[in-house]
Chains A and B, each alone.
Chain A
């Protein structure tokens, strides 16, 4: 193993950190430079993440690449662990981040300071949370991510944004405090912060330490579920995501997956009676979230709110499926995670473009009614300012909308269908252990999955009809190429997900198998050899 390949594990944290810090040196007017730096950094992230996924997946002897910071021996060192799941999450993060940056160039990066820097720091937090193998570092990276997200939520500072941001910050600060209580309890019970060592010591706890560990894990789970937006804890999510700027909301659809990722990792490392920790509760919470989100999608008037409910719907589906704690179902859920994250973030952008047009029309109307003469000249001035308009924008937006709707609903032939099929096949198919005690759970999940698809179908077709067909005056969205390209990019990735469904499914199945067999993770982390110091090696 040569030197540079070994250090690559830390690259996803360092690249955006350096890029973000570097951009602070330049004035906000150097927009082109900042765009180039951001895109270069995110592109490098994608390359590194894809390479690491390739390596981890094709390397059969080790389940994970482990990076020992400071080269201390295994359980003492703060470590970064890269297994299949974290590699998948890194790749998705980079894929979602690139279009969000491109989308922001035209409009959102101009409305407030330091957009690109905050964005890079958000990526530092996200990547760090996916990579770390240490509970306290997970907290630190959560905070890095949240601190950047506070800034991004408020980006553009409209009154609705400030109001939603205020609630968002309070709730997340409280969740962080609960997170800390959980860490303290787990540390008090096991005497370790290393996730692998915690899992190892959890097997042989005595006396009061075992309930203490369970209470600690429950506290941690609570903090993660607030992030994921599980039903009674997720009321903050919809107003925040609906009022955030579109590129921000697009990358926030990844943010809620961090909670799910951490939950999955920790719950499966400390199994209770062969099942994931607290799996029954996760299942019930997920199912209720799914119901809540389905009703919410039907009830929402604005498209932004509806797309925020789609984030909740995806969280609910994932949680309920993970609650089954079965490797095949988990694999299907990971596939669903890929397709729903990409689709929701593209959907946020499409909705932004459509709603902006509608808002502009409404504004012009209001102005016209107030002072008839002036409105026209104002409009002309705006017209001249818009550059490089996309030809046939309405057609592209319409097609994009319907394709994304197909993914969100789960219609064939797109990836939404494939992933829902994978979940249904795992829980109801011939290979599943249907007929055992949890038959009710399986049927409930299957019914909910299908019903949520139906409600999404109703809501989205109503939305589409109202937007594209119902307007009497033909809508001509003023959309530039840089704002359409990200949407097309994400749709292309979704198509690629369908075409490469076989290999992708193989990766997620292997990732799920790793997750459900924590001994491989433990072996990789605790058996990590520390590198002989450079001076000794050269002798």
Chain B
């Protein structure tokens, strides 16, 4: 499972970085989204991967910490998702404004001279 997660994060990061370096703003947005997925998975995996272990305590029985997974990374991922979502939405607005002002979707606001 560790290998699978690592490969998934690696693939997402690689695609994200490649898209980020492309000249079209839409590609940059998708690249940022893929990168943030990779980062969220990475934060998640830093709480160590566990199968069948809930993060929320069950109040009915005495607490045995070994049965539970670390809830903190999950809370962090949640926050990171919300913030990433908001900033990406804001970036989309800027993208559209830039498209409207410059008439092109190139990140520099003009086509490269070639």
Does A147 lie within 8 Å of B87, measured CB to CB?
yes
Contact of A163 among B20, B76, B91, B98 (CB under 8 A): B98
Taken together as a complex, chains A and B put the C-alpha atoms of A169 and B89 apart, in Å, by 12
Binary interface encoding of chain B residues 45-83 relative to chain A, with 1 for a CB under 8 A from any of its CBs, else 0: 011000000000000000000000000110010011001
A18 at the A/B interface (Cβ < 8 Å)? no
Taken together as a complex, chains A and B put the C-alpha atoms of A154 and B90 apart, in Å, by 11
Does B94 lie within 8 Å of A185, measured CB to CB?
no
Question: Which residues between 365 and 416 of chain A lie within 8 Å of chain B, taking CB atoms?
Answer: none
Does A146 lie within 8 Å of B76, measured CB to CB?
no
Interface majority SS (helix, strand, loop, mixed), chain B: helix
- Give the chain B neighbours of A165 by CB distance below 8 A: 94
Does A174 lie within 8 Å of B94, measured CB to CB?
no
Does A143 lie within 8 Å of B102, measured CB to CB?
no
Taken together as a complex, chains A and B put the C-alpha atoms of A184 and B47 apart, in Å, by 9
**Given known A-B contacts A163-B109, A174-B32, A150 and B72 have beta carbons under 8 A apart:** no
B108 at the A/B interface (Cβ < 8 Å)? yes
**Given known A-B contacts A166-B25, A174-B20, A183 and B76 have beta carbons under 8 A apart:** yes
Does A177 lie within 8 Å of B36, measured CB to CB?
yes
**Given known A-B contacts A147-B86, A162-B98, A166-B95, A174 and B46 have beta carbons under 8 A apart:** no
- Give the chain B neighbours of A184 by CB distance below 8 A: 39, 42-43, 46, 73, 76
A187 at the A/B interface (Cβ < 8 Å)? yes
Taken together as a complex, chains A and B put the C-alpha atoms of A187 and B44 apart, in Å, by 11
Taken together as a complex, chains A and B put the C-alpha atoms of A136 and B43 apart, in Å, by 12
Taken together as a complex, chains A and B put the C-alpha atoms of A143 and B83 apart, in Å, by 7
- Give the chain A neighbours of B101 by CB distance below 8 A: 157, 159, 162
- Give the chain A neighbours of B72 by CB distance below 8 A: 187, 193
Q: How far is the CB of A247 from chain B (nearest CB, A)?
A: 21
A447 at the A/B interface (Cβ < 8 Å)? no
Does B76 lie within 8 Å of A143, measured CB to CB?
no
A440 at the A/B interface (Cβ < 8 Å)? no
| Interface size, B (range) | 20 to 34
Does A166 lie within 8 Å of B87, measured CB to CB?
no
**Given known A-B contacts A163-B102, A163-B108, A177-B36, A169 and B76 have beta carbons under 8 A apart:** no
Q: How far is the CB of A134 from chain B (nearest CB, A)?
A: 11
- Give the chain B neighbours of A187 by CB distance below 8 A: 43, 46-47, 72-73, 76
Does B79 lie within 8 Å of A140, measured CB to CB?
yes
Question: Which residues between 278 and 318 of chain A lie within 8 Å of chain B, taking CB atoms?
Answer: none
Contact of B79 among A136, A150, A159, A162 (CB under 8 A): A136
Does A169 lie within 8 Å of B90, measured CB to CB?
yes
Binary interface encoding of chain A residues 501-539 relative to chain B, with 1 for a CB under 8 A from any of its CBs, else 0: 000000000000000000000000000000000000000
A341 at the A/B interface (Cβ < 8 Å)? no
Q: How far is the CB of A244 from chain B (nearest CB, A)?
A: 14
Q: Across the two chains, which residue of chain B brings its CB closest to A216? A: B46
Taken together as a complex, chains A and B put the C-alpha atoms of A166 and B42 apart, in Å, by 27
Does B83 lie within 8 Å of A166, measured CB to CB?
no
Does B91 lie within 8 Å of A170, measured CB to CB?
yes
Taken together as a complex, chains A and B put the C-alpha atoms of A163 and B99 apart, in Å, by 10
Taken together as a complex, chains A and B put the C-alpha atoms of A169 and B86 apart, in Å, by 12
Q: How far is the CB of A209 from chain B (nearest CB, A)?
A: 12
B28 at the A/B interface (Cβ < 8 Å)? yes
Does A177 lie within 8 Å of B83, measured CB to CB?
no
Does A167 lie within 8 Å of B107, measured CB to CB?
yes
- Give the chain B neighbours of A193 by CB distance below 8 A: 72
Does B87 lie within 8 Å of A162, measured CB to CB?
no
Binary interface encoding of chain A residues 180-211 relative to chain B, with 1 for a CB under 8 A from any of its CBs, else 0: 11011101100001000000000000000000
- Give the chain A neighbours of B109 by CB distance below 8 A: 159, 162-163, 166
Q: How far is the CB of B85 from chain A (nearest CB, A)?
A: 11
Does A173 lie within 8 Å of B97, measured CB to CB?
no
Taken together as a complex, chains A and B put the C-alpha atoms of A358 and B47 apart, in Å, by 58
Q: Across the two chains, which residue of chain B brings its CB closest to A212? A: B46
Q: How far is the CB of A129 from chain B (nearest CB, A)?
A: 14
A132 at the A/B interface (Cβ < 8 Å)? no
A176 at the A/B interface (Cβ < 8 Å)? yes
Q: How far is the CB of B32 from chain A (nearest CB, A)?
A: 6
Binary interface encoding of chain A residues 131-163 relative to chain B, with 1 for a CB under 8 A from any of its CBs, else 0: 000001000100100110010001001010011
Q: Across the two chains, which residue of chain A brings its CB closest to B75? A: A136
Taken together as a complex, chains A and B put the C-alpha atoms of A181 and B42 apart, in Å, by 7
- Give the chain B neighbours of A174 by CB distance below 8 A: 20, 32, 35
Q: How far is the CB of B49 from chain A (nearest CB, A)?
A: 11
What 13 new A-B contacts, CB under 8 Å, besides A159-B101, A167-B107? A143-B83, A154-B97, A159-B109, A162-B101, A162-B102, A166-B109, A169-B91, A174-B20, A176-B84, A183-B76, A184-B39, A185-B46, A187-B43
Contact sample, A vs B, 27 pairs, CB 8 Å cutoff: A136-B76, A136-B79, A140-B79, A147-B86, A150-B87, A157-B97, A159-B101, A159-B102, A162-B98, A166-B107, A167-B107, A169-B94, A170-B28, A170-B91, A173-B87, A173-B91, A174-B32, A177-B35, A184-B39, A184-B42, A184-B43, A184-B46, A184-B73, A185-B46, A187-B43, A187-B73, A193-B72
Residues of A within 8 A of B (CB): 136, 140, 143, 146-147, 150, 154, 157, 159, 162-163, 165-167, 169-170, 173-174, 176-177, 180-181, 183-185, 187-188, 193
What are the 7 tightest A-B residue pairs by CB atom distance, in nearest-first order?
Answer: A188-B46, A184-B43, A184-B46, A163-B109, A143-B83, A180-B39, A177-B39
